[in-house]
Structure 1
Amino acid sequence: MEFTGGSLSADHLCVVVHGLWGNPNHMRSVAKALRAAHSEDELYLLVAKRNSGSFTYDGIERGGERVCLEIEEELEKIKSKGGKIKKLSMVGYSLGGLVARYAVGLLSANGVLDQVEPVNFTTFASPHLGVRVPSRGWHNTVWNGLGARTLSMSGRQLFITDNFRDTGRPLLAILADPDSIFITGLKKFKRKILYANVVNDRSVAYYTAAIVKTDPYTDTSRVKPNYVPGYEDVILDPKNPVSPLNPKSEPVTLGSVTSEGLFYAKQAPLAVALAVFIPIGIAAFLLNSVVQNLRSSRRIRLHETGLAGIEIEKYRMPIWIKDIRGKVEDVYENLNASQGQSYLVDGASDDEEGDDADETEILALERRQSHAQSPTLALAPCQFAMINALDEVGWRKFPVWIKKVRHTHAAIVVRMEKKSHDEGLVVLEHWLKEEFLM
């Protein structure tokens, strides 16, 4: 990528990490915006590439190890040429935000963050709490189980069904544990920033990108947006993002009924096409999942035996401080987005009970604190614990309301340079002008 690199006089290294199924080109607009804002003499750019494409199936920790090695190699290369990096910033998009958080833990544990000043840590539409659909119904439970099996190790980790290093806990819970190297490393950054799509993100729902228990954007007809001055129509005011709005009901007329009928008549060909092609797409998605799971398992074995070019023993330090692509992607996102979110309600039900007394107590407490106007989502007990721990880190959270596209996940970082993604340029402008520290 043409924006990677910088001058040896630059003392600030910014590392950019793409998401699931991604590659460095997905982050071209982010790198381009960084370079437009800061010259090669000020900022050195590294767009990570070791964890591209199907390699993202192999698990967050392996991605983190690959990115950590890439950062260490880049720092050594700059040093060998006479440069000196004094500051470090990390940027992660989607799954890349979790990979970056894992890499930060490794960098902290091996002393790199003691040699440079950690400045900015930024995520765009990253699933900090995983992608498990807040669930109380059987259909959500089925999808949570199926989705975890379609993306190899990364899928199990994103749907929080894995057992990380025989701890009896999922990786994302360890990643957010206050006593882990990961939270300790994250706290070292001067500024922690996140941007979360409030609507139409079919890959990463608002609650997990924003690290929250509620979702005030499930019915946008009932709220009035309040924007950050100068970034109207895209960046919501983090302190007061929306105000309640009670829309007036309009009487049903013959004209409205006729218009509605014409609308559905026009949609009939689309419905027929979907009925034919969706089963084909799902079949292709599941077949590809089987192939990618097998390939990922093979890569994981090579990685774990040290035959993939990484000395893994260097990165398998204690994690406790106190112990010190294409159509397939479209099908997955459509299936994920079709699941409705559930909420905690008064009175416990069988599927709300935790696996032990502590989990049941957590759910009972969250249920009591849930408000009718903004009900608490039916998250897993470990997700509530993640929220509490991650909030202690001190995030600057910005809700993003993109309207020009029906799928906002790619638009938030302008993954493709086209007019319908222009609202993402407003997000990047806000980040670089208002939040990014040099």
Structure 2
Amino acid sequence: MPNETEPIIVGGSAKTDHLCVLLWGSPKHMQNIAKSLRSHYSWDELYLLLAQRNSGSLTYDGIELGGERVCAEIEEELRSITSQGGKITKLSIVGYSMGGLVSRYAVGLLYAKGILDTVECMNFTTFASPHLGVRSPLKSWHNKWSNFVGSRSLSMSGRQLFMIDKFRDTGRPLLSVLADPASIFMLGLRKFKRHTLYTNIVNDMSAVHYTTGITKTDPYHRNLENINVNYLKGSKDVILDPANPIVPQPKLRSGASVMSKVLHWTVPTPLMYILTLCSPIIVVVFLCNSVVQTIRSSGRIKRHEMGQAAFSIDQYRVPLLIKELRRDVEIAYDAPNSSQNPDFLSTEDEDDGNNEGPQERSLMSRERRLSTPTQPTLALTADQFEMIRSLDSLKWRKYPVWIHNHRHSHAAIIVRWDKEAFGEGWVVLNHFADGEFLI
């Protein structure tokens, strides 16, 4: 583990030819990823940029505006390095949480502007990023209610993450366009040599496994007591072996299983009492803050669209689709944010009204036929199933992560704060910096 008192060193020397951009809302939350990379690569080997144009409440402004800000920031940094006598020939991008989506948008803009043709694209990495959005899988009323409230609580970002937006003149959700094989975003991503993602398998209430792992199943949901996990050698029981992550356990006697479930639901804990008492207050505070932030965000977006931003938006409003997209719903997918209580497709399910047109109905029918009792398919939308197929064509190196010592695994996976309980996150960061990062 790096020295806690050692300052975070960003930037690089004039000899550095490799720029790595670290991206989320707050640069402070990305400092330990930077610290881990710097402990492996010197100033002469790697130039580190902690993107900061989307700090704080600016994350409410949406993926598009966030991506434009980051693209402008990267361009400015490249010009600054050149003016100081340096020359960047390699580029890597690391995104955390929603920063992974913003970075995918920025990559598309860099591709459209020809910048990716001037560098060797090395690593594109995400940590706990909701590539498929954060909507709960369909069917149950509480999932639909959660989607309704959540999508209207986070300004433009909420609408895009819950996929209820219509992006520009496409008539489709932005996340769907981001994963379109014919889009500048996917064409830009394809230029990177290595695509890596780290996904929490438990306790990530912000972005659960199906969306951060780009998968239509979740073998870890409510099932960890029934499986053995295979850990990656040398990962200190934190990172699962991506080639063979789980092995089913022998079934326990039904009586023992029933008793464990009874105890689970009948033995109260102090945390349960606290949550019961505080939930109404928390909900009111959250909704009030959401209203304030939504109003502020709407004003920023309006000023940006009127050309009152720090940079001209005209150079970033480029054509999104390079060629006509041809959907082939008969091709099986190579490979779902759900709530912690997702629903699954079954062969008896009827179309729920969220999928229109023969192509979407055919796709959903196929997914229902392919769903099995041992690995049931989550009740995703037709858009999400197509997104999985497209994104998986990039052949991601997917690393499931099991954080045991803290229930806030979304923060622990990158050691957002220097606290002892987040120590398992250093295993993840060192694995990335030492063996996964191409220099």
Q: Does TM, scored on the shorter chain, surpass 0.5?
A: yes
Give the match's secondary structure for 2:88. coil
Assess if the C-alpha contact under 8 Å between 1:352 and 1:363 holds in 2: no
Give the 5 Å matches for 1:268-287: 270-287=271-288
Q: Distance in 2 between matches of 1:174 and 1:394?
A: 19
1:37-436 matches, cutoff 5 A: 37-218=40-221, 219-249=223-253, 267=268, 270-322=271-323, 339-351=340-352, 354-436=355-437
The match for 1:33 among 25, 32, 36 is 36
Q: Give yes or no for the alignment of 1:5 onto 2:8.
A: no
**For residues 302 and 371 of structure 1, do their structure 2 counterparts lie closer, same or farther at Cα, with a shift above 3 Å needed?**
same
In 1, distance between residues paired with 2:251 and 2:158?
A: 40
Superposed CA offset, 1:205-248 (max 9, x none): 10100101100001101110011111141111111110111343
Of 10, 13, 22, the match for 1:16: 22
8 Å Cα contact 1:7/1:40 also seen in 2: yes
Q: Post-superposition shift, 1:135?
A: 1.6
Question: Does the C-alpha gap of structure 1 residues 136 and 11 become closer, same or farther in structure 2, counting only changes over 3 Å?
Answer: same
Q: Confirm or deny: 8 A CA contact 1:140 1:339 kept in the other structure.
A: no
Write out per-residue CA displacement over residues 28-69 of structure 1, whole angstroms, 9 at most, x where no aligned residue.
100101111101111000000001111000010110000000
CA distance in 1, matches of 2:269, 2:118: 62
**Deviation larger for 272-281 or 243-252:** 243-252
SS of the counterpart of 1:16?
strand
TM-score, length-normalised on structure 1?
A: 0.91
Kindly provide the CA deviation profile for residues 408-428 of structure 1, in whole angstroms up to 9, marking residues without a partner as x: 000110101111111111111
**Maintained 8 Å contact 1:131/1:159:** yes
Q: C-alpha displacement at 1:260, in angstroms?
A: 10
Between the two proteins, the alignment pairs up a number of residues equal to 420
8 Å CA contact 1:353–1:360 kept in 2: the answer is no
Q: What one-letter code is carried by the residue in structure 2 that aligns with 1:9?
A: K
- Partners of 1:65 and 1:103 within 8 A in 2: yes
TM-score normalised by L of structure 2? 0.91
Report Cα offsets for 1:333-379 as digits up to 9, x if no partner.
xxx88651000011123526622222111111000001110000000
The runs of 5 or more residues in structure 2 that have no matched partner are 1-6, 325-336
Is the contact made by 1:68 and 1:103 (CA closer than 8 Å) also made in structure 2? yes
Question: 1: CA distance between counterparts of 2:380 and 2:319?
Answer: 29
Runs of 4+ in 1 over 2 A off after TM superposition: 246-252, 256-276, 336-339, 348-353
CA RMSD between the two structures: 2.2
Alignment partners' CA distance in 2, 1:152 and 1:39: 40
Q: 1:299 to 1:261 in 2, by over 3 A?
A: same
- Consecutive unaligned residues of structure 1, counting only runs of 5 or more, are 324-335
User: In the alignment, residue 40 of structure 1 is paired with which amino acid?
Assistant: W
For each residue in 1:267-286, what CA deviation from the matched residue of structure 2 results, as whole angstroms up to 9, or x when unmatched?
46544432221101100101
The residue type equivalent to 1:55 in the other structure is L
Taking the aligned partners of 2:201 and 2:52, their CA distance within structure 1 comes to 29
- Contact 1:202–1:337 (8 Å) recurs in 2: no
- How far, CA to CA, are the matches of 1:258 and 1:199 in structure 2? 23
Distance 1:433 1:185 in 2: 25
Bigger fraction of residues in helix: 1
Q: Call closer, same or farther: CA 1:250–1:15 in 2, change over 3 Å.
A: same
Distance (Å, rounded) in 2 between the aligned partners of 1:384 and 1:180: 17
Q: Answer yes or no: is the 8 Å Cα contact 1:13–1:44 preserved in 2.
A: yes
Residues 353, 359 of structure 1: 8 Å contact kept: no
Aligned residue in 2 for 1:332: none
